[in-house]
Amino acid sequence: MFKKLAIIGALAVPMFGMSHGANAAETTHRVKAGETLYKIGAEYGVTVQQLKEANHKSTDSINANETLTIPNSISESDKELLARLVQAEAKGEPYAGKVAVATVVLNRVDSDSFPNSIHDVIYQGTQFTPVQNGEIIKQRMLKQKKL
């Protein structure tokens, strides 16, 4: 649940047209006294195992003032695709409606009944109207024109 909230929170900025400067793959975190890998992972939407692998750790031990590399849990292209789906699917909806669409996709990625990637969930069959009617592709083309 924490991971989904962190991912949705991270998507909120690009979903609503605001830019972010930092490259998510290069995120670091300075450990504060009392923090654990679990708490840090929940904050950034990554697992303890991902944190340990990214920081070459074999134990859960961390020290205050230690700098940890935070791995990118979702590719930039998947974030952008999910943001386009949310905009197209929940256009005119309040924030809660947009969050609901993103949550549906992320819940499906976690489910054994659906594909294991954001891209594959979004493009699976006739799951989402913006995929069926081409709106999601139109949004990508408009974005590319603006760049």
- Pair (142, 84) in one structural domain: yes
The helix-helix angle for 76-89 and 2-15 (nearest 10°) equals 70
* Encoded tokens for 32: 């504060």
Q: How confident is the model at residue 17 (pLDDT cuts 50, 70, 90)?
A: very low
The DSSP output letter for 71 is: P
Q: Does the reported pTM lie above 0.75?
A: no
- Pair (27, 12) in one structural domain: yes
- Pair (58, 11) in one structural domain: yes
pLDDT tens track for 85-119: 999 999 999 999 999 999 999 889 878 899 888 99
Structurally, the chain folds into a number of domains equal to 2
Confirm if 20 and 115 have CB atoms less than 8 A apart.
no
pLDDT at residue 65, as a whole number? 96
- Pair (8, 55) in one structural domain: yes
| CB neighbour burial string for 4-19, b if at least 16 within 10 angstroms, e if fewer | bebbbebbbebbeeee
Last residue of a domain, one of 69, 101, 117: 69
- Domain range for 109: 76-146
Last residue of a domain, one of 16, 34, 69: 69
